[in-house]
Structure 1
Amino acid sequence: MKFGKEFKKQKVSEWTEAYVDYNGLKHILHGIRSFRQNNPNLARASSKRLSLKNFNSSSLHESNIDNHDDIENQVIVVHTVHQENSRKLYNTRLIVSPTEGEGNERIFFKKLDDELNMTNNFYKDKVEEMIREAALLKKQMETLVALRIKVTNPSSHGLVSLKSVSTEINNLEPSKIIPPGKAEIFGQVDRKAGVEMSCRSQQQPGSSGVDLSFQERHSDSHPVVDVLHRNNSTNGEITDEYETSNLEILDRIKISNTYDSPMSTIRGVFTDTREKGLSYNKEELKEVEERLKIAFIEFYQKLCLLKHYSFMNMCAFSKILKKYDKITSRFVARSYMKIVDDSYIGSSDEVTNLMERVEAVFIKNFLNSNRQEGMKLLRPIRKIERHRITFCSGFFSGCTVALIVAVILLIEDRKLMQIKSATLYIEIIFPLYGFFTFTVLHMLVYAANMYFWRRYKINYPFIFGFRQGTELGYREVFLLSSVLGVMALATFLVHMHIKMDSETQHYETYIELLPLGLIIVVLAITFCPFNFMYRSSRFYLIKCVFRCVCAPLYKVTLPDFFLADQLTSQVQAIRNFEYYICFYGGRQLTRRLKRCSNNEVYNVFYFVLAVVPYWFRFLQCVRRLFEERDSVHGYNGLRYFTTIVAVVIRTAFEFRKKIAWKVLALLSSAVAAIANTYWDIVVDWGLLQRRSKNLFLRDKLIVPHKNVYFVAMVLDILLRFAWLQLVLILDVHSLHGKTVSTIFSCLEILRRGLWNFFRLENEHLNNVGKFRAFKSVPLPFTYYEDKDDNDGNERDEKDE
């Protein structure tokens, strides 16, 4: 793979604009090449100069080359401008004769300087941000050690000598308490000279052709990094500075309440506080350790991204300068790369130092010095795509197509649609299998979403917060949907064949249990605690569903409301699940075959279940309104409330076919459709911007073809208003029973898939605009100053 493609593939998508514009520099080099091809005399002169330089290089000593030959053949001069904020700007001047000074070459170095200055400033800003965060983590870690001592030794107070509690520490588990002096809290770790830290989780194979010579360099550490050093003595003795642990710090802290559980949310409503005092129990210590452990892992991942950013940009500078030398024969790569190597992005090793210290602290304090397990958490292995997934997907999708054909042939061969009793039976049992139809279709749509998200480099794993190495790809989702489709179609085919075959009528009692057995198998696999069939993804889905059901008791995150939006497009599937309970609620077969619409309890839940997904979203909007104090969530909640009203009135019209209900259903549905369409296009997709450089769109677009956005908007409008058909009740003679409503339910799922892509595209662009590639993790401890002590100090100063 060429470096340009590899460079594009390896970029952190949220930082794309902060990387070297490699393609732009290549475009300028193409112009230089074209100019030289049109001027053969200049090319021959360059070749002659190249031959002479090669001869001199082979006949002179290396020291003579550096001191004499480079000066005589000097082509560029790089000026360094020092700014007030201790940053440097580089400006390159091209030294060539007037006949050789092509404008494209000057433009090339002007752009090269701009890219170097830009990457330096961006990298320095991010490193300084990491240093500040490391200082906070260091303070949090010291507090955790003090809390461990307090929990394990409640009688401790004030300043406790580490030597005095050493015997107690030896009797405790090392993972529970480690004295600050011995804990190596961001302690200085001996660095191996000439070894560059690599992040397996970020770097991929395939870049072996890149010149890595610039990796072996070191420079003085940034002064601020010293905040992470612990002045350990050489012989393992504890220094005087850290010989004692100040447990009084526990009197000036509180634990941040994230409201991440129903009980914490309820307590927060009554106490009206986001902080709670320390209780010094083991449950509290375990909670703090877990939260701080997650913070360390996320911090390390940030460092990996920064290291990878530096590595790829250095490769880009090296590659583009080699291309320039090859085209112009000027030999400027070595001299310019010296400047790049001495720049901040090339010479700084703060990130490497931080990574090593984080590894030492994390492994010692949270993994009981088990380095292997610690590195698995810090550097999760990137998921490898396997060929067997593709093979199985193709196999089961082929089986699905074959079963669909078999079902159609069975219906046509037995003339089932022309027999009244058979048609009635199919209409009765269709909801049992319709649940799987809607589920499989939604899974296929989601697999298609994942494919296009990946193709257009939308970082959906980061947006959804998937754990690296465990997230599913579109191949896995397509495989699961194919397997579920095969199971449902095979069950339906066996069901219909046995039911319509006169010779197997005596199996009728067992036939009716086939759909129930299928749903039990699916639910058993979904909730199975054993590690097979993508357990982490199954539990992630269960967790999100549970948080949606418990709204507004949980803090609302993007996966929560994204899943709730998916449920609003699966109202018919939810009603079909209710039909299972109604259908198998009868003790006798004859009672099972009766229509559930005659059951009053069923009709009540028919109303309720249609409203439930929208009610979840309404409660989530209310939670975000009170938590974020943003009126946008209030308007969004009002939109879902109007949809709830429209669904209730439309459902009432299904049971009472009266003109008054029909008019109300049309009006409420039209208002809800208009509000939802506007919100989809303007808010969720970010389109129809007034002052956009792309007419009726937005400034930044990921899909290169603008027509795609206009087609998507038109389709969204049409599909949003398609549900009015359920009110108008179009009479389609060629369709039977609930086929029309099933078709429009499938269209709603397809519309949701269209919405999914552009919704996540807009979210991704918002992250890109803010260079937001990290997940913010709230730290457990909040520090505050004792006001009484401060007031007392102020009084003492006044008395003096």
Structure 2
Amino acid sequence: MKFGKEFASQMVPEWQAAYLDYACLKILLKQIQHWKQKTTQPDTPPRLPRALTLYRAFSGLIQRQNQRLNSFNGEDTENQPILVNFCTGRKGSGKYETTFLMAAEEGGECEQQFFRRLDNELNKVDKFYRSKVKEVMEEAQTLSKQMKALIAFRIKVDKVAAKFVCAGMVGMNVFNGEAQSNDSIEDNEKHISLEIEEENSKHMMSSDIASLNILNHVKLNEAIQTHFPTIKQTELNFSKENLKRIEKQLKQAFIEFYHKLRLLKKYSFMNILAFSKIMKKYDKISSRRASRNYMRIVDNSYLGSSDEVTKLMERVEATFIKHFSNSNHGKGMNKLRLKTKKERHRISFCTGLFVGFTAALILALILIIHARNILDKQGKAQYMENMFPLYSLFAFIVLHMILYAANIFFWRQYRINYTFIFGYKQGTELGYREVLLLSFGLAALALASVISNLDMEMDPKTGDYKALTELLPLILVTLALVILIFPFNILYCSSRLFFLTTLFHCICAPLYKVKFQDFFLADQLTSQVQALRSLQFYICYYGWGDYKHRQNTCKMNDAFNTFYFVVAVVPYWSRLLQCLRRLHEEKDPMQAYNGLKYFFTIIAVCTRTAYSLNAGTGWRIVAWICSAIAAIYGTYWDLVADWGLLQRRSKNRWLRDKLLVPYKGVYFGAMALNILLRFAWMQTVLNFKVSLHRETLAAIVAGLEIIRRGIWNFFRLENEHLNNVGKFRAFKSVPLPFNYEDDEDRDV
């Protein structure tokens, strides 16, 4: 792999703009090379015979190395083509400026432009590195204060436990008739307390022993004490449960901090290596010796000479191993280091196997339908009314999962840091292979159930269908739900727990603080309204016993029709409450406009549902108007707010300034497709004459909405990624357990 591609692959995506612009410098070098080739005489001097080198005296490797070192130290500076100076500004800041001493030569302007751009890149990288080192040093001070409070908290908890032990010993002596005096009890308490302090002092940092007086200026943050943000507790509760929660939070904070230090150290190394590579290319093209002189400046810069990050990493390792791993070096380093997820061949094999099963079952289903001429039989309408809604649920879920797998593939392809944006725990996120495995596994089971259901026979005496084959859809749904909530650590337990937690936050909106993954999942649910209605149909169909005769009376029931409205509105209502919660916390008026979009959609969904249940001209006109308003508003919001497109003053006309996909036609095609698919469900109101069953048409429209959501997902996350890049946000913030009083005063 060429260094340019390797350099790009090793970048922190959110810091991409802060790296050395290697590609631009290579373009400038190509211009210099083109100029050299253009001005070089075609006649080349004759080469010296190689045999002459055999008669030269061998001076030794060490001597040549010393000569090279002397030249590097400045003894041969007269022939240097460049002179690099560090110019100090008024406020103490400075920048590097290179003077190209051979600018008067023919073609020297190109080389002068190269060094001017090189200086700008060095100053940019050095400034960014300084700012990040300053941030981590300040964060290190905060973590040091947190550790002092933790150690003091440990001592206090052990003292409380020791008092209970002491009291138990005293009570036991009294019970045995060997009562002790109060003086002896106090002496025992002091003795035990001193032993605990001596034992805990071994766990303290040798440079700064924590004092119990720290706890007088510290209180626990709300996240430690309660899950409800409205409750405040300022008093410290010295219990072992609180100690475990505090240690867990601080452990996670240290792991994230160490991850940041590693990336910062890697940032320094990769940029220094990039400067070295580009200067070697310059020496090769220009036939000059400028790389040693310039790299000496790079090595002496803050980027190359600062060792704060390395020392800080060593201190973090020592502290983490001592206080969070019981001085077990291997265990501590395994927790600190990032766990690289290994690609397993068995996942690819099983995915291919299920894909083959799915394709074979689809082919078998088509052949069975045509061979038995099922489409022309009398039971077709009965099957479409009762069984099709049951099996279409799996089609909606599988389609959504396949599109999500495609999104993951393209997010990785264009280096979108979706794991950081979603807040996945490192190494637990699912790749596109795992998602495809789950989706095609579910598809194969559902298709096998469909084929088995087609072979179902009815008892001519009772008029009932065979219970086993009729219950297959219910068994499959139950199996999927059981696997989803399965508590044991198999079948991607961490991902299932993450999904269920996020789903719970969506259902309980606005009680929880809204994170990106919360409203992202709620948006996915708004595209699965038909799937939610299918779940409602499951309850009605099997709960009221209609499955025995393959008939349903659901739509004749007022309760079912009422919940037909409620189920469709719930996802949009959840998003509306999330917008209101963010409006209250962030004071951002854009959240009010976003909530208005979901309010219009709720009205449109209700009017369309009312029209589908009570077909009338009045309901049709109202549903058409409300649906058109919601579609226009939603389309504009997708393109402008969620995707960040339609920018008139952008350097990319009607697009963003920064684009990850190199082909602009992809964005225009996505915008046109979004508009088309947004208005596809208007068919439910306009009632164009289509030779399809009503359930089939509803399933197709729902599938088109899921496809639109899949396209929306990629560009929505691309826009979020670029916003993080613009603010250089590459790490998730971990809430700290302790809050100092001086921090509160500073915030005020």
- The answer for the alignment partner of 2:228 in structure 1 is 264
Alignment match of 1:741 (pick from 682, 698, 715) = 698
- Tell me how far apart the structure 1 counterparts of residues 67 and 744 of structure 2 sit (CA, whole Å): 70
For the 8 Å contact 1:464–1:559, the answer to whether it is kept is yes
The aligned amino acid for 1:617 is: R
- Tell me how far apart the structure 1 counterparts of residues 203 and 312 of structure 2 sit (CA, whole Å): 16
Is 1:775 the equivalent of 2:732?
A: yes
For the 8 Å contact 1:254–1:782, the answer to whether it is kept is yes
Matches within 5 A, 1:43-442: 61-67=64-70, 70-83=76-89, 87-96=93-102, 98-99=104-105, 102-154=108-160, 168=193, 179=200, 182-185=202-205, 231=207, 242=209, 245-258=210-223, 263-265=227-229, 267-268=230-231, 276-442=234-400
- Tell me how far apart the structure 1 counterparts of residues 191 and 438 of structure 2 sit (CA, whole Å): 55
Q: Deviations over 1:12-53 (max 9, x none)?
A: 1111111111111111222222222233349968999xx999
Matches within 5 A, 1:502-521: 508-521=466-479
- The answer for the alignment partner of 1:721 in structure 2 is 679
Task: Answer with 88-97 or 474-483: which moved more.
Answer: 88-97
Cα distance change of structure 1 residues 169 and 707 upon mapping to structure 2, 3 Å threshold: farther
- Tell me how far apart the structure 2 counterparts of residues 786 and 32 of structure 1 sit (CA, whole Å): 55
Cα distance change of structure 1 residues 533 and 590 upon mapping to structure 2, 3 Å threshold: closer
- Tell me how far apart the structure 1 counterparts of residues 519 and 195 of structure 2 sit (CA, whole Å): 48
SS of the residue corresponding to residue 96 of structure 2 reads: strand
- Tell me how far apart the structure 1 counterparts of residues 657 and 742 of structure 2 sit (CA, whole Å): 46
- The answer for the alignment partner of 1:666 in structure 2 is 624
For the 8 Å contact 2:155–2:196, the answer to whether it is kept is no
- The answer for the alignment partner of 2:414 in structure 1 is 456
Per the TM alignment, residue 65 of structure 1 is displaced from its structure 2 partner at its CA by 4.3
Cα distance change of structure 1 residues 611 and 144 upon mapping to structure 2, 3 Å threshold: same
Q: Normalization by structure 2: what TM-score?
A: 0.88
- Tell me how far apart the structure 1 counterparts of residues 96 and 145 of structure 2 sit (CA, whole Å): 37
Per the TM alignment, residue 755 of structure 1 is displaced from its structure 2 partner at its CA by 1.0
Per the TM alignment, residue 334 of structure 1 is displaced from its structure 2 partner at its CA by 2.4
- Tell me how far apart the structure 1 counterparts of residues 612 and 632 of structure 2 sit (CA, whole Å): 22
- Tell me how far apart the structure 2 counterparts of residues 315 and 147 of structure 1 sit (CA, whole Å): 45
The aligned amino acid for 1:124 is: R
Per the TM alignment, residue 668 of structure 1 is displaced from its structure 2 partner at its CA by 1.6
The aligned amino acid for 1:250 is: L
Q: Deviations over 1:708-731 (max 9, x none)?
A: 222222221222222221122223
- Tell me how far apart the structure 1 counterparts of residues 645 and 29 of structure 2 sit (CA, whole Å): 37
Alignment match of 1:579 (pick from 520, 534, 537) = 537
Q: Deviations over 1:374-418 (max 9, x none)?
A: 223221221122333333323322221221111111111111110
- The answer for the alignment partner of 1:479 in structure 2 is 437
Per the TM alignment, residue 740 of structure 1 is displaced from its structure 2 partner at its CA by 0.7
- Tell me how far apart the structure 1 counterparts of residues 455 and 13 of structure 2 sit (CA, whole Å): 53
Is 1:682 the equivalent of 2:640?
A: yes
Cα distance change of structure 1 residues 299 and 84 upon mapping to structure 2, 3 Å threshold: farther
For the 8 Å contact 1:584–1:592, the answer to whether it is kept is no
C-alpha RMSD over aligned residues? 3.2
Cα distance change of structure 1 residues 487 and 121 upon mapping to structure 2, 3 Å threshold: same
Q: How many pairs does the alignment contain?
A: 711
The aligned amino acid for 1:92 is: T
- The answer for the alignment partner of 1:758 in structure 2 is 715
- The answer for the alignment partner of 2:170 in structure 1 is none
Is 1:619 the equivalent of 2:619?
A: no
- Tell me how far apart the structure 2 counterparts of residues 717 and 101 of structure 1 sit (CA, whole Å): 53
For the 8 Å contact 2:522–2:575, the answer to whether it is kept is yes
Q: Which runs of 5+ in 1 are unaligned?
A: 158-163, 186-229, 232-240, 789-800
The aligned amino acid for 2:693 is: H
Cα distance change of structure 1 residues 588 and 764 upon mapping to structure 2, 3 Å threshold: closer
For the 8 Å contact 1:380–1:468, the answer to whether it is kept is yes
Q: Which runs of 5+ in 2 are unaligned?
A: 164-188
Per the TM alignment, residue 785 of structure 1 is displaced from its structure 2 partner at its CA by 5.4
SS of the residue corresponding to residue 78 of structure 1 reads: strand
SS of the residue corresponding to residue 584 of structure 2 reads: helix
Q: Deviations over 1:470-489 (max 9, x none)?
A: 21111221222111111111
- The answer for the alignment partner of 1:730 in structure 2 is 688
SS of the residue corresponding to residue 83 of structure 2 reads: strand
- The answer for the alignment partner of 1:645 in structure 2 is 603
For the 8 Å contact 1:254–1:781, the answer to whether it is kept is yes
- The answer for the alignment partner of 2:168 in structure 1 is none
- Tell me how far apart the structure 1 counterparts of residues 365 and 548 of structure 2 sit (CA, whole Å): 26
Per the TM alignment, residue 778 of structure 1 is displaced from its structure 2 partner at its CA by 2.5
Is 1:16 the equivalent of 2:16?
A: yes
SS of the residue corresponding to residue 543 of structure 2 reads: coil
Cα distance change of structure 1 residues 754 and 588 upon mapping to structure 2, 3 Å threshold: closer
- Tell me how far apart the structure 2 counterparts of residues 723 and 787 of structure 1 sit (CA, whole Å): 53
Cα distance change of structure 1 residues 348 and 586 upon mapping to structure 2, 3 Å threshold: same
For the 8 Å contact 1:184–1:361, the answer to whether it is kept is no
Cα distance change of structure 1 residues 762 and 785 upon mapping to structure 2, 3 Å threshold: closer
Q: Normalization by structure 1: what TM-score?
A: 0.83
Q: Deviations over 1:421-470 (max 9, x none)?
A: 24412431111111100000000111111111111111111111112222
- The answer for the alignment partner of 1:236 in structure 2 is none
SS of the residue corresponding to residue 97 of structure 2 reads: strand
What fraction of aligned residue pairs are identical, expressed as a percent?
52
Per the TM alignment, residue 348 of structure 1 is displaced from its structure 2 partner at its CA by 1.0
Task: Answer with 75-84 or 575-584: which moved more.
Answer: 75-84
